[in-house]
Each structure stands twice: as structure tokens, then as C-alpha cells.
Amino acid sequence: MATAREIMTSSAECIGENETLEEAARKMLQFDIGSMPICGEDRRLKGMVSDRDIVTKCLAQGGDPRTTTAGELGEGKPVTIGADDSIEEAIETMERHKVRRLPVIDGHELVGMLSQADIARNYPEDKVGELLRFISFD
């Protein structure tokens, strides 16, 4: 069976932990994505930030996205998958943590992102039912 490395999107864009949420929002618009990893200077994953986070954790609470950094929103240890982990493990991780995207790491370095769409494009047809179950997050 395929590994995360084989089907991931390898051109994962990061927002630096010291970059502002305004910069994060611009990158999300530019790349047509709804969330992105927060990386340190060493490309180590520090967290995730989503467009919803920017709205609910900054704007709705009176914060200023021009001065609030992405690192300020990154909470706790992000859910990840190893580059050589199986797709089945990725699906189980998504189900368990109720996430639709996983940063893919090799050692401590971010090497890509694995989304539901990546899995759907590469998942065997005979397992489509299982895939639909995991996407719906009952």
C-alpha cells in the first residue's frame, strides 16, 4: 500500500511563526488553501493555522491580524503523519483527531501535506466506502 510520501502534496507552504496573520491570510488566498503549517526558522513544524482560526481567535476577539503572529495562534502539538507511514495510518489519524489535512514530516522536517483529496485520488476503488466513512466523521 502507498505511503504518505508517495501521494502527499510536496510543495507545502509554511507561514513563519513570526509572520503575521495578515501574511498568513494572503498566502492562503494566493495558494487557495484554508489552512497551513506554522514553521520555525529551522522548517520544524510549530503548529497549524486556519482561516477559521484567524477569524475566531483573532478578529472576533478584537485582535489585529497585522500584528498578531501565526506563532501566537499555534496551540499544542500539531497532529502529523510520518512520510513513510501508510495511507491506512493516515486515515486512522484523521478519524481519531477529526482533521482533514495532515502535515507530513520526515524526522523533524515538514516535507508535505496530506489531504483527504490526496487520499481520494489514490485510494483503491474497493475501499471507497471506508474512505467516505472517514471523510464524513460520523
List the domain boundaries for the chain.
Answer: 4-136
State the Cα–Cα distance between residues 111 and 42, nearest whole angstrom: 12
Q: What is the pLDDT along the chain (138 residues), one digit of tens a residue?
A: 789 999 998 878 899 999 999 999 999 999 998 889 999 887 788 899 999 999 999 999 999 999 999 999 876 688 999 999 999 899 889 889 888 889 999 988 889 999 888 888 887 766 656 666 665 655
Checking 35-39 for CB contacts under 8 A at 24+ apart, the result is 35/101, 36/12, 37/12, 37/78, 37/103, 37/110, 37/113, 38/14, 38/70, 38/71, 38/73, 38/74, 39/14, 39/15, 39/110
Spatial CB neighbours of 30, under 8 Å, sequence gap ≥ 6: none
CATH 3.40.50.720 fits 4-136, yes or no: no
